Chains A and B, each alone.
Chain A
Amino acid sequence: MSSALESRIGSPWRKPNFIHSPVLRWGLLAITLVYLFFAFNSIDVNWTRVSEGLVRGWKFVKAFASPDFVSRGTDIYDGMVESIIMAVTSTVVGIIISIPIGLGAARNIAPLPVYLICRGIIALSRALNEIIVAILMVAIFGFGPLAGFITLSFATIGFLAKLLAENIEDMDKVQAEAVKSTGASWLQWVNYGVQPQVIPRLIGLSIYRLDINFRESAVLGLVGAGGIGATLNTSFDRYEYDTTAAILLIIIAVVMALEYLSGIIRAKVQ
Chain B
Amino acid sequence: MDVILTSPAKATIIGMPAVVLSVLITLIGLGVLVFIVSKRLIPLNKAASDPRMDNIKQRLINAFMIPHHKMPRYFLASVIHIIVLTGFIIISLRWITLVFTGFSDFFVSPGLGGVIGLFYGMLRDISATLVLCICIFAMVRRIYLPKRYQVPSRYGRDKSNETMLMLFLIAFLMAADMFFEGSLASAQAQYGIYPTKLLIPGTGVWAASKILSHTPIAKLQSVYLGFFYFHQTAFFLFLCLLPFNRFFHLMTSLPNLFSMKLKKGAIKPVKWGVPDDKLEDLESFGVKKFEDFTWKHMLDFYSCADCGRCSDQCPANAVGRPLSPRFISIKAREYMFNKYPVWGEAQNTDEPLIGTIYSEDEIWSCTTCGACEQECPLMIEYIDKIVDLRRGMVDEGMVPQSIQKPLSALEKRGNPWGKMEKKRADWTKVLEKENGIKVNMIEKGDPADTLYFVDSITSFDDRMQDIARATAKILTAAGINFGILGSLEKDSGNEVRRFGEEMLFQNLKSINTEEIKNSEVKNIVTADPHAFNALKNEYAGIPPVEHISQTIVKSIKAGKIRLTGAEDTNKVYTYHDPCYLGRHNDVYEDPRAAIDAIPGIKRVDMEKCRDRSFCCSGGGLMLFYEPEEEQRMSVLRVEMAKQAGANVIITACPFCLVNIEDAIKVCGMEGKMEAIDLAELVAKHLG
Do the two chains bind?
no
Give the interface of B toward A (CB within 8 A). Answer: none
